[in-house]
Structure 1
Amino acid sequence: MLKDLEKYLKSKISGHKNYAIPKLWIHSNKEIFGNIFEEKGNTIFVDPYEFFYKVVSYINSQRKEKVNYSKSISNITGEKDWHKKAIIYGSLPRMTVAYNHKGFANFEETDILGFKESGTFLKMIAFLIYLKHFNVNTLYMLPISQSSNLFKKGSIGSPYAVKNPLKLDENYHDPLLEGFNVEEEFQALVEAAHILGIRVVLDFIPRTASRDSDLIREHPDWFYWIKVDELSEYKPPIIDNLPFKIPDAEDIPVIYRNTEVRKHLKKFVDSPDKIDPKKWEKVKKMEGNILVNIIKEFGIVTPPGFSDWINDTQPTWDDVTFLRLYLDNPKIAKPYISPDQKPYILFDVIKSSKFPGEDENIELWEYISDIIPYYQKKFGIDGARIDMGHALPKKLQEMIISKAKNNDPEFMFIAEELEMKNDKKAMEEGYNVILGNSWYSVARREEMYKLVEETSVNLKIPFVASVETPDTPRIKAREFGDKLKFLSPFLMYFIPNGLPYINSGQEIGEIQPMNLGLDNTIWGKTILPPDDEFYGKLAFFDHYVLHWNSYDEKVFSFLKNLLFYRKKYEDFILSGEFKYVYFNYQDGFLANYSYWKDDKGILVIGNLDLSWEREFEIHLDKTVGKQIEIKSVKLWNGFEEYFLEKSNILRLKLNAGDFALIIINE
């Protein structure tokens, strides 16, 4: 597919340089692009066909003969445990490669010149070359399936409101590519990534769907239903005599005897095919949105989702609804509900891993567990993150993982486990990686110290070493963000069992969060100045363009160099002997660890005190546990590299929030 793309792009080159792109997209790649651009102020203009032709031509020149790059890299190379070497870039493509290509006025989804300014798969292909500057070898993308525009929370629908998991979002098609479709363009993206040694990992959502899911037409009984008249007051019931918590078995009697719960249960009704089978046959053949037609003809609607935590104060998730994983109600709840209770959603129904029913909706389970294999066989993807996999029935989760692993034993599964203590559980369930909570710890000194000194080294499987995620505040926008934007990635990207993760925009110092889901408040979306075009916009729900033209040059350069060192000393981290650093004193502020191979080692030290400096001594012999001859001592502080005096005792001073990578006997 990529060769077809190259031929097409070459045939369309006109020489009209009217397509603006960020300078960073061609950063230090003159050997690829040559002199194909014109600079006008802070903007670069290219002939779009020539630009993308140069990209695709270069990538095609890197391919090896007789290799089928439409397969996963593991199926091509047979490499084992590749996930342990993953350096991950997380992307919401419609945001990551969005840009005002006309070069004037404001952003438009498709502009006056016919250019698609929101992200496309074609632009993601060009972005792969940019990612190589950071030694990224794994591209993780948020959901790219067809999403819904019904009940949307902003100007566009959330990528998590999946309307059809087996269809790609048509908005990722680039109008520059006449005659190509969005599936072919995604095939080309995966192929290009594989040629460059970058694996592709996708996000999948098995327990929810958009409220107007395409599945409703053939399977209305796979969903829950309430009367439209009840919708305005629909919310999770408050249980006054219970705290904010995930329900336990002993809470079930309290929950079901609650007055608000009993009112909640009465809101639910049968699916439309059960209410009036003849009318349903007519309605499902009607033109237009299936849910809108059901609302008009039956007066019922799929209810919004909500948290499985009791007394959670967050509002309902209006753009998604839960899939009906069991055809009966939770076994533990049956003594407390009437035999004719309609299918309903409650905390225990959502947490079906803990409170299963007895009548498995096996047809739905087979459908869900076949989604990832579809993407494996059609596109050759390399891994997946399972959204809220820990809330799924155990058997369904096993089906999802085993079917994918049968196609590719080295297929990487990321568990949405935010608690580090669930590492062993996730490993036993077949996951390779957990998300973890480093994004939370980096903003809290004691949590950070515990993560570095106690937790990480004892994990059974790796975690995603992130300082921010699509759901959290940006690291630069945190309190002391001017220091944490350097210190936190430094400590995370070398940490034991950590997989370095760049959240799209982190590398250019973006401050606006993409969503407010974790560790944030409603005010988190007001970080940008009020006169900014994207003030108050969240990329999960609105079109958003990263601030490419005013990027943080120090952060960009720092992360690029940091990941160079991470790659250079990867072997120490993966197979070296782990040792804590021996100081002349320790007060809980000097985060530290080291890795050794014979008399060679690297030491990672960070001053977690963001207000005061620290002076200290490092005793190398006591750190290693034996006498070693010191031939050279080199220090990198994030910005420059220099040699220290050759000595077994190193005397250092780190200013507030500063850090040092010390290389012994390189």
Structure 2
Amino acid sequence: MSTPTLDIILESLETAKRRQPAQPYAVPNLWRTGATGVAMVDPFDYFIDALAAIKATAPLEPDGAATDEQNWSASATVYNLFVRYNAAFDHDRDGRIGTEPLPGGFRETGTLLKAIAMLPAIRQMGVNTLYLLPLTSIGKVNRKGELGSPYAIKNHFRLDETLGEPALDLPVETQLKALVEAAHHLGMRVVFEFVFRTASIDSDWIAEHPEWFYWLRKDGDLESYGPPAFDHDTLARIYEQVDKHDFHELPEPDETYRNRFAPTPEKITATDNGYNGVTEDGGECVIASAFADWPPDDRQPPWSDVTYLKLHDAPRFNYIAYNTIRMYDEALERPELRAMELWNKITGIIPWCREAFGIDGAMIDMGHALPPELKAAIVAEARRGKPEFAFWDENFDPSPKLKEEGFSAVLGSLPFVIHDVQYIKGLLNFLNRNGVAIPFFATGENHNTPRVCHNYAGREAGRRRALFLFTLGAMLPAMPFIHSGMEICEWHPVNLGLNFNDDDRQRFPAESLPLFSAAACDWENANGLAPLRDDLRRVLDIRSRYFDLVRRGEIGSIVQPYISDPALLTVMRKSGGRSLVFAGNSNFENAVSGTMEFEQETMKLEELITGRTLTISGHKLTHDFAPGECIMFELPDTAQE
């Protein structure tokens, strides 16, 4: 019988402790007790105690296992962890996050061992699913920042070595397996994010399979390389065809742009700056970097550290554009043009990871940019022998179509409408009219969007906004989603992906962003505010009591009762003789009074969050909402007008 991986980690820690003296090591209390501040510890004792405490806990069954095991995402409460950033801390108290190990062999950047030690605190919030951003090895050429992007995948079958603690003297794979094992012991499922559409510009696959990549001729102006330009009329035609799902003869970039791309080189040479190629005619070429391909007039600069994988072998379409890497001209989509050796390699990644680490699900980055047949093959292979394996898609519409494709959940649109309560109301109306076939992420932020506290650094209004949005999300047929740091009102963006403006780009240079460089959340002081952990758990406890009601996503199931002030937002979920009502103040600076009307003339109601009594009098419930305040109450069917 194999030794549990946690025992292997513990043995390694105890051996290392005997071998070297303890070094000063600071840890935030928030990783242990829920309080702010810092404790000085012996790192070996700290991690030994943390792992021993996990082992001593009676094993927990994951939520939803007994009711709907094959669709467990519907009962998931998610904690999204970018290990390198969210498990980082200034352990030696020198005012910076060092990128090299400390003298005792422990890192200040986030590691899998530190993530294990954080698990009990994460579980105590009511979380039952751990979602990890990419953990794979990172390319070194054209790196953004000092550490590089986790999306610049150098080898899809190897891990980022910096996620391991050198003090353990164990493979990083063993440390990751221990993290999954510990999460399972605490009743949490584990989902990894996978990157299949792109690779690093110095990917290990290039030397063996140059035909899997796009190559750019060196005799052109490489500095001017970027997305192809389309004139106004051509853009209009592109949009019209795509809107109609007409992919026959989609407009191509002009000949000058297409000719910038070289055929697969015959000779490949590895250099410090990446791979150089020489074509049959003696021309030199390099790997073409990636860029935002949709909309086709997106003018973002190229993503210098990554490249698109060439999923089709079609000389006519030997270029990067919207119609080769996203929308796929139907002439390109003929089965005989598929790069099947690459497709088979891609479909083998999740099964390998599932067997190596015991994960429970996958989030597919840029799943919307994969050919449907490839995406279907990825799902089928990963679920072979494990039908309960979950798939989440980076898609915005929780439609029946995605459910039919085998997906368990989608990103959804909530993070993109939170800046205006009227947009939130519009989204809720859309969901009510169309239904919710699969759950979406109930969150106001992720690593590509502004934090919900983005414009409220260290202000109570930001804390109110975070709790308001989380409470609203808990009322929906969605997955409550905690983007690590949200529970301490972290406001610094991880990446400037979507919904940022030019001022943000001036304030947060790319090389300083946590997605690319060493950084840490404010685990010591929680940004000067009271941590939200107890509040989040309180909301999740209410959700669990009404789970059979709030999980329902049929058409007409997300009603917005009338309330007298437009700054107030209401949601009623009604099913099986029970009704649950949410009302919240979207003004996070000022109090707002609002009135709701009911058929019942008088009634006493329990407010579920605080336990206070709400009174209906004269068919009306009038409430003075503090800034950002939310109330929730159960309503008898006869009371709602």
Q: TM-score range by the shorter chain?
A: 0.7 to 0.9
Change (3 A) 1:655 1:453: farther
Change (3 A) 1:107 1:587: closer
Mapped to 2, the partners of 1:151 and 1:140 lie a distance apart of 28
Cα deviation, 1:517-569, whole Å, max 9, x if unaligned, reads 110134325658xxxxx997211111111111221433524334333433344
In structure 1, the residue matched to 2:639 is: none
Change (3 A) 1:54 1:620: farther
In structure 2, the residue matched to 1:304 is: 289
* Cα drift, residue 107 of structure 1: 1.8
1:377 is the counterpart of 2:323: no
SS at match of 2:482: strand
Among candidates 1, 6, 12, match of residue 2 of structure 1: 6
Among candidates 110, 114, 118, match of residue 119 of structure 1: 110
Cα deviation, 1:303-353, whole Å, max 9, x if unaligned, reads 011222211111111111111111015xxxxxxxxxxx5822222001255
TM-score by length of 1: 0.83
Aligned ranges 1:545-624 → 2 under 5 Å: 545-552=520-527, 553-557=529-533, 558-574=535-551, 578=557, 580=559, 582-583=561-562, 586=564, 588-596=566-574, 601-609=579-587, 613-621=591-599
Mapped to 2, the partners of 1:323 and 1:416 lie a distance apart of 18
- Contiguous gaps of at least 5 residues in structure 2: 637-641
In structure 1, the residue matched to 2:306 is: 320
Aligned ranges 1:111-150 → 2 under 5 Å: 111-113=101-103, 114-150=105-141
- Contiguous gaps of at least 5 residues in structure 1: 30-40, 274-278, 330-340, 529-533
Change (3 A) 1:488 1:75: closer
**CA contact 1:485–1:555 (8 Å) conserved in 2:** no
Change (3 A) 1:239 1:598: closer
Aligned ranges 1:189-208 → 2 under 5 Å: 189-208=179-198
Of all paired residues, the percent bearing the same amino acid is: 30
In structure 1, the residue matched to 2:27 is: 21
* Cα drift, residue 415 of structure 1: 1.2
**Aligned amino acid, residue 346 of structure 1:** A
Mapped to 2, the partners of 1:363 and 1:28 lie a distance apart of 50
SS at match of 2:196: coil
Change (3 A) 1:603 1:77: closer
**CA contact 2:63–2:75 (8 Å) conserved in 1:** no
SS at match of 1:549: coil
SS at match of 2:351: helix
SS at match of 2:300: coil
Among candidates 266, 282, 288, match of residue 259 of structure 2: 266
In structure 1, the residue matched to 2:606 is: 634
**CA contact 1:601–1:663 (8 Å) conserved in 2:** yes
* Cα drift, residue 601 of structure 1: 4.4
1:291 is the counterpart of 2:274: yes
In structure 2, the residue matched to 1:524 is: 504
SS at match of 2:518: coil
Aligned ranges 1:161-240 → 2 under 5 Å: 161-178=152-169, 180-230=170-220, 231-240=222-231
**CA contact 1:74–1:408 (8 Å) conserved in 2:** no
In structure 2, the residue matched to 1:476 is: 453
Question: Aligned pair count?
Answer: 607
TM-score by length of 2: 0.86
SS at match of 1:524: helix
SS at match of 1:652: strand
Which structure is richer in relative contact order (CA contacts within 8 A, separation 6 or more)?
2
* Cα drift, residue 662 of structure 1: 2.2
**CA contact 2:593–2:622 (8 Å) conserved in 1:** yes
**CA contact 2:247–2:329 (8 Å) conserved in 1:** no
1:52 is the counterpart of 2:47: yes
Change (3 A) 1:456 1:376: farther
SS at match of 1:407: coil
Over aligned residue pairs, what C-alpha RMSD do you find?
3.4
**Aligned amino acid, residue 291 of structure 1:** G
Change (3 A) 1:441 1:93: same
Among candidates 519, 530, 555, match of residue 544 of structure 1: 519
**CA contact 1:468–1:475 (8 Å) conserved in 2:** yes
In structure 1, the residue matched to 2:630 is: 659
* Cα drift, residue 615 of structure 1: 3.4
**Aligned amino acid, residue 6 of structure 2:** L
**CA contact 2:417–2:423 (8 Å) conserved in 1:** yes
Cα deviation, 1:606-660, whole Å, max 9, x if unaligned, reads 13356765434434557xxxx9x96x622256xx442234767433222454321
